[in-house]
Structure 1
């Protein structure tokens, strides 16, 4: 209950401080997923910080903060009846309406959910997962249909206008699934990260080699173009299907004329990865990225709506010049704060960590497995965490896998944390 009140208070605070010409700020981690309502008034975002947020686009205010997932929110989608969906690293797909809790959990995968799509009739949803499957789940409670066949992660999913499912995966294939029988399989040259389906049935697919492929509904290629050396991680189609936006980990977004298969505009951001994007009508694009912001772009000019360069927060490590432990901690500061007023980010605050039991920070959504561990954080246990890696020392963690190989660097980090987290 306390965490729900905190979420509502945060939304209220953001609503009072947002500016219409400023990016939408509120997530504690990169913005991994975006969707915009058909009327262009609201946006739904999902983040590595385990939360989803509902925004009023015009005034930049956060209307709701949604927390139910144990891990990153990798995908979001909007239903025609006003409901919306979130899906996460925990393998679950949640259906939300007006209440503070999800109405129900629609699907549970054995691995992280990577993508969501809503069928044209609005009565079914599809989810793709790193468990190697895609699921078509009827909203009326009927049994889900499981699609298997990809070798490895299924990274994206979309519906064609006729209701057929399209999946894309790490195995560099795009598959078009009929209602019954084997899929049409298109073999590409590199892992496919994103797919989108146009109103006329054409399929856009892009991935690790930075190429965009335009495929006919029968799987044959109409056009292909190189967007650059950096992987494409997200695609979006304009409501009329005339343009495609492609986001890259290099931070640029290509806006493509679909009929001509030609880049018409390149949006250049602050240089951080753009993880998600959605059209707002035909004249505006909304993007989410590694800087934790949701930005708006004017597609007539290619310029951001509001400032591109945001005021940088004070450097929390500036007080420790030449401290080797502070230098090692640089890799951690994107996810963790050190001070009493720093709060939680993608990971919990480290303030007061020494002597604290694991999974004890209020309002942080730890995974169930993490809560079962019996560890107290000391100089020895923190050093051991980075010696063997989080996956071995804290099974079930959401923390990225990393080790510090040099014993002197581990010791320096521990000394720094003993000082900085008091």
Structure 2
């Protein structure tokens, strides 16, 4: 039974995911009914705050935007498998239509105003009731659907797919009426009824606009892009006869003008162009953007808005393609664009965020100027030891949040596309990295103290608890950087890339998981390997358990392992200590030689590099070195067999509490995630409770004080107080 406190916390968390700003968890009042004293909660959680703004934000890149005629709401679809209905006044989410777990490519408001249709990668079209969120019908398509179109009478629905098919459906009973197929099996990215409702147009990946007769289903000659031939074309209009002019790349969007006389065409390799709907003749083509994802007409048909593949929003005249203004967008995937019903605003998808711009001058309306875009998933989180500041990394840099006030204090490494961060135990030094670059940031000032260029792409990284050593692993090398005074580097060769890394909170060692599932324990002092576990393929994460020397490991299919050291586990030595003991193997004293031999054997794999490199002419020393090497290798794995817990769902994200007893896992994909809280009891993993997180979690972390930080795909961070 869920406790009152946790129920209140989770209710508050859900409310926080819908409201602007931070929320506070509330305790419920004691019941007036007599009851026995409740048992102590094994893993109590209390929501402290939600950092960041969840308004107008999906858990994946937005793919379509549809303003509603009432001027008060807007629909969006995204690659998180959902379509969402938002209130324009404050960005509150009114409905979530959960299509599936895969990418959702389109949402269409039907002409009756009461239903919507959604389509995506799960090979189906769903019909929904917009006010209640109820799913009304499923139209099985058989392939991934990209776009939808409804006829003028509101009776039929077209859906195009990646296999070159368009299916025609009856909206009244859900029956399939016809199939239109390309001769070349070209993927179809967009579809429309012709203006006179007698034909079908579809944009293909072979630079063609495919056509069919609606009544007979016969495929007609395709349309190709042709340049204007009249003299006196306005500035910004393409005029040439080169072969490249017809090499448009994928036809990504076909949009009919409000009067039905023209179509705006957006393609992958050339500027957008306008087509006469009656003749198919090209009227004009823009020089830029050089490639566009999608476009839209203003309600009066005088303007067109285009989202370019160069990460920009462009407004142009519909009559001649002359550019009026353009705005740079901070997102690689900017899809979905539409005008407000009164034509005063443009809505567009910008990563996970729905943005709003003033048509008159291109001024950004939402997010307001000066406010962070927050349009990507959080990839890493950390908190300072005093609990006053939370750090969250995403593609736009590292954000520093004031926990008490819920305010953004700073953005560091702006536009560096940070992949991950690691914070020293004292909270003074931050490590961040991307590709083969790493930055050491002073947390107090926000200044970059050192910029490190790794020899290869950084696959995993961490900073030591004392903030003096940076660990970075690549495809073939492990690098240790001493950063107390400078950036001195020590490089150690490894057999394969280490994709996951965890530092022992006690600061003496770290654990690496290689691409083949090989697990290595290494000394933080010099990177010397002191232990190795037999390969476990497809490991997806690792975390040291404080105080145990062991670790929890996450596997690909939703399973977690608890590894604990065997009794009599190795007592590692540094390389200098190993060399001193090897020198004693030639001592005149038998007891000294024997003690040195036994100590080297107990040190395990940490001494192997030094033992193998040692050279001596003394037969006694040679013999003892062979004994040490043979016995160390004969010891095999230095961990017990794993205790396995199957959580199902796959795609595990893992965190371990600093008390070494509690742990947390998020399993499943966005939209179907489950939060699992547990304890380590008698060296076994036990589940304490399960619940759905307040937002789709992209990363989770316990900080040094035991707070649980949940970084979201919507760019927010939920902060929970844990035991």
TM-score calculated relative to the size of structure 1? 0.72
Counterpart of 1:353 (choices 544, 550, 554) is 554
Q: Is the 8 Å Cα contact of residues 35 and 44 (structure 1) preserved in structure 2?
A: yes
From the superposition, tell whether residues 104 and 228 of structure 1 become closer, same or farther in structure 2 (CA, over 3 Å): same
Q: Is the 8 Å Cα contact of residues 156 and 167 (structure 1) preserved in structure 2?
A: yes
C-alpha displacement at 1:362, in angstroms? 5.6
C-alpha displacement at 1:184, in angstroms? 4.2
Name 2:356's counterpart in structure 1. 296
Name 1:196's counterpart in structure 2. 255
C-alpha displacement at 1:58, in angstroms? 2.3
Name 1:104's counterpart in structure 2. 137
1:234-253 to structure 2, matched below 5 A, reads: 234-253=294-313
Q: Is the 8 Å Cα contact of residues 154 and 168 (structure 1) preserved in structure 2?
A: yes
Name 1:114's counterpart in structure 2. 146
C-alpha displacement at 1:110, in angstroms? 2.9
Name 1:269's counterpart in structure 2. 329
> How many residues are treated as equivalent by the alignment?
339
Q: Is the 8 Å Cα contact of residues 18 and 61 (structure 1) preserved in structure 2?
A: no
Counterpart of 1:279 (choices 327, 330, 339) is 339
Q: Is the 8 Å Cα contact of residues 43 and 55 (structure 1) preserved in structure 2?
A: yes
1:157 aligns with 2:218: no
Name 1:405's counterpart in structure 2. none
Q: Distance in 2 between matches of 1:138 and 1:285?
A: 32
- The C-alpha deviation readout for 1:20-73, integer Å capped at 9, x for no partner, is xx8944311111121111232211111111121111112211101121323011
Counterpart of 1:93 (choices 125, 134, 145) is 125
Q: Is the 8 Å Cα contact of residues 255 and 263 (structure 1) preserved in structure 2?
A: yes
1:13-162 to structure 2, matched below 5 A, reads: 13-17=16-20, 24-81=55-112, 82-97=114-129, 98-106=131-139, 108-141=140-173, 142-149=175-182, 151=184, 152-162=186-196
Q: Bigger shift: 233-242 or 314-323? A: 314-323
Q: Is the 8 Å Cα contact of residues 36 and 279 (structure 1) preserved in structure 2?
A: yes
Name 1:210's counterpart in structure 2. 270
From the superposition, tell whether residues 271 and 70 of structure 1 become closer, same or farther in structure 2 (CA, over 3 Å): closer
Q: Distance in 1 between matches of 2:253 and 2:183?
A: 15
Q: Distance in 1 between matches of 2:372 and 2:94?
A: 22
Q: Distance in 1 between matches of 2:58 and 2:13?
A: 11
Q: Distance in 2 between matches of 1:41 and 1:183?
A: 42
Q: Distance in 1 between matches of 2:262 and 2:110?
A: 22
Q: Tell me how large the CA RMSD over aligned residues is.
A: 3.1
Select the structure of larger CA radius of gyration. 2
Q: Is the 8 Å Cα contact of residues 159 and 197 (structure 1) preserved in structure 2?
A: no
Answer 1 or 2: higher relative contact order, Cα 8 Å, separation at least 6.
1
- The C-alpha deviation readout for 1:246-285, integer Å capped at 9, x for no partner, is 1123221111211122222213222543111111121111
Q: Distance in 1 between matches of 2:282 and 2:190?
A: 19
TM-score calculated relative to the size of structure 2? 0.43
Name 2:283's counterpart in structure 1. 222
Q: Distance in 2 between matches of 1:60 and 1:150?
A: 45
From the superposition, tell whether residues 196 and 219 of structure 1 become closer, same or farther in structure 2 (CA, over 3 Å): same
Query: Structure 1 or 2: larger strand share?
Result: 2
Q: Distance in 2 between matches of 1:46 and 1:75?
A: 6
1:167 aligns with 2:245: no
Name stretches of at least 5 consecutive residues in structure 1 with no aligned partner.
Answer: 1-6, 330-337, 339-348, 368-422
Q: Distance in 1 between matches of 2:671 and 2:94?
A: 24
Q: Distance in 1 between matches of 2:12 and 2:649?
A: 23
C-alpha displacement at 1:137, in angstroms? 1.3
Q: Is the 8 Å Cα contact of residues 275 and 281 (structure 2) preserved in structure 1?
A: yes
1:317 aligns with 2:349: no
Name 1:376's counterpart in structure 2. none
SS in 1 for 2:392: coil
